[in-house]
C-alpha cells in the first residue's frame, strides 16, 4: 500500500457531495458536517430540511462550520443531484424494486471509481423515516452499513461518519502508520546476548537459577527478548538495573 502523494485521492473526494434530505434536527446537520470534514469531504447539500441550520448546527459542527456556511440548501432534489454521474442512497433496510445493494465498503470503492469520472452524490434520508420511495427511485446504487441484527439505529451523523470513513480509505490508500520518529535504535544480536548472559549471571548469584537444574529458563528469557524486539537503550537500562542488583549483593 502506498500513500497517494499527488492528490489523486483527495481530488476524488472533492467530487463527492453529501445530500441530506428532510433532516429533522439542526444539530445532526452540524454533526454530519463535522463527520464529513474529518474525512476530507467538503460539499454538503441540504434538501428541504425541517429546520434550517441554526446555532445548534454550528455548535455540533465544531470547526466544520465552514461546510455548513457553504452548504447548498434547496427544496428541489433535481437541482441537488444536478451533474451527478452516480447517486448512491444510504439505507438501513432492503427495498423492493430498487437499485442493487452493496455493503458500505464495496460501495465506497465504487463511488471513488465513479468520482474519478464525474460528480457523485451520497443521499441520506430523514432520521426517522429514512429515504422515501421517490428518493430511492433516483439511486443507481444502495449502500447498507452492516449493523447488529436487532439494534440497527444508527444516528444520522454516525452513518455519515462511517460512509465518509470508507470513502476516505477507498480514495487514499493508507501507507504504514506514521513512522514513530523516536522509536529507538534496535538492539543487535550481540547486545541481546550480553543481556542474556548478564541476566543468567545475576540470577545464578541470587540463587534463583540453579546451574545444575537450569530447566529452560534462559531459553524462555531469550524467546521473550526476541518477541519484545528490544531497543539498544532498553538493553542498557536492563543491564544497569542488573548491575545495581548485583552491587547490593556484594
Kindly tell me which of 93 and 189 has the beta carbon lying closer to a second copy.
Answer: 93
For 167, phi then psi, to 5°, come to: -65, -45
DSSP 86-132: EEEEE-SS--TT-PPEEEHHHHHHHHHHHHTTSEEEEEE-BTTTBS-
Binding residues for a second copy restricted to 59-78, rule: CB under 8 A: 62-64
Confirm or reject binding of residue 212 to a second copy (CB under 8 A).
no
Residue 185 makes contact with a second copy by CB under 8 A: no
- Indicate the residue among 76 and 223 with the shorter CB distance to a second copy: 223
Question: Residue 153 CB, nearest distance to a second copy (Å)?
Answer: 5
For a second copy, the binding residues in 22-51 under the rule CB under 8 A are: 31, 34-35, 37-40
Residue 83 and residue 72 in contact, taking contact as beta carbons nearer than 8 Å: no
Specify whether the CB–CB gap between 47 and 20 falls below 8 A: yes
Least distance from a second copy to the Cβ atom of residue 136, Å: 13
With CB under 8 A as the contact rule, the residue among 165, 194, 196, 198 that binds a second copy is: 165
Interaction between residue 211 and a second copy (CB under 8 A): no
- Pick between residue 80 and residue 89 the one whose CB is nearest to a second copy: 89
| Given 90, 112, 136, 162, the residue binding a second copy (CB under 8 A) | 162
With CB under 8 A as the contact rule, the residue among 18, 44, 122, 145 that binds a second copy is 145
118 or 175: whose CB is closer to a second copy? Answer: 175
CB-nearer residue toward a second copy: 38 or 74? 38
Measured from the CB atom, is 82 or 241 closer to a second copy? 241
Sole binder of a second copy in the list 7, 83, 132, 146 (CB under 8 A): 146
Interface size with a second copy, residues (CB under 8 A): 71
Check: CB of residue 98 under 8 Å from CB of residue 117: no
Residues 96-115 that bind a second copy (CB under 8 A): 96-98, 100-103, 105
Q: Which stretch binds a second copy (CB under 8 A): 16-24, 49-57, 110-118, 144-152?
A: 144-152
Gap between the Cα atoms of 20 and 47, Å rounded: 6
Cell of 222: 531469550
Task: Encode burial over 141-177: b for 16+ CB neighbours within 10 A, e otherwise.
Answer: bbbbbeeeeeeeebebbebbbbbbebbbbbbbeeeee
Longest dimension (CA), the chain: 87
Kindly state whether residue 239 participates in binding a second copy, applying the rule CB under 8 A: no
236 in contact with a second copy (CB under 8 A): no
- Would you list the DSSP string of 44-97? EEEES-SS---HHHHHHHGGGHHHHHT-EEES-HHHHTTTEEEEEEE-SS--TT
Q: What is the DSSP letter of 187?
A: P
Q: Which grid cell sits at 135?
A: 428518493
Amino acid at each position: 500500500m502506498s500513500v497517494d502523494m499527488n492528490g489523486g485521492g483527495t481530488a476524488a473526494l472533492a467530487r463527492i457531495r453529501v445530500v441530506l434530505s428532510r433532516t429533522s434536527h439542526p444539530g445532526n446537520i452540524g454533526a454530519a458536517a463535522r463527520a464529513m470534514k474529518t474525512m476530507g469531504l467538503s460539499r454538503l447539500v441540504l434538501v428541504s430540511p425541517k429546520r434550517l441550520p441554526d446555532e445548534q448546527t454550528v455548535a455540533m459542527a465544531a470547526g466544520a462550520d465552514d461546510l455548513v456556511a457553504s452548504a447548498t440548501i434547496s427544496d428541489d432534489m433535481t437541482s441537488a443531484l444536478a451533474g451527478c454521474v452516480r447517486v448512491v442512497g444510504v439505507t438501513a433496510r432492503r427495498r423492493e424494486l430498487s437499485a442493487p445493494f452493496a455493503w458500505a465498503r464495496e460501495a465506497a470503492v465504487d463511488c471513488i471509481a465513479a468520482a474519478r469520472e464525474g460528480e457523485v452524490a451520497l443521499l441520506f434520508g430523514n432520521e426517522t423515516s429514512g429515504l422515501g420511495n421517490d428518493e430511492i427511485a433516483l439511486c443507481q446504487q444502495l449502500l447498507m452499513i452492516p449493523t447488529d441484527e436487532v439494534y440497527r439505529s444508527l444516528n444520522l451523523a454516525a452513518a455519515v461518519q462511517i460512509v465518509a470513513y470508507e470513502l476516505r480509505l477507498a480514495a487514499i490508500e493508507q501507507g504504514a502508520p506514521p513512522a514513530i520518529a523516536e522509536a529507538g535504535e534496535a538492539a543487535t544480536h550481540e547486545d541481546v546476548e550480553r543481556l542474556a548472559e548478564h541476566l543468567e549471571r545475576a540470577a545464578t548469584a541470587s540463587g534463583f537459577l540453579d546451574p545444575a537444574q537450569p530447566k529452560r529458563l534462559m531459553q524462555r528469557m531469550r524467546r521473550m527478548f526476541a518477541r519484545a524486539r528490544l531497543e539498544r537503550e532498553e538493553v542498557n537500562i536492563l543491564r544497569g538495573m542488573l548491575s545495581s542488583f548485583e552491587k547490593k549483593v556484594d
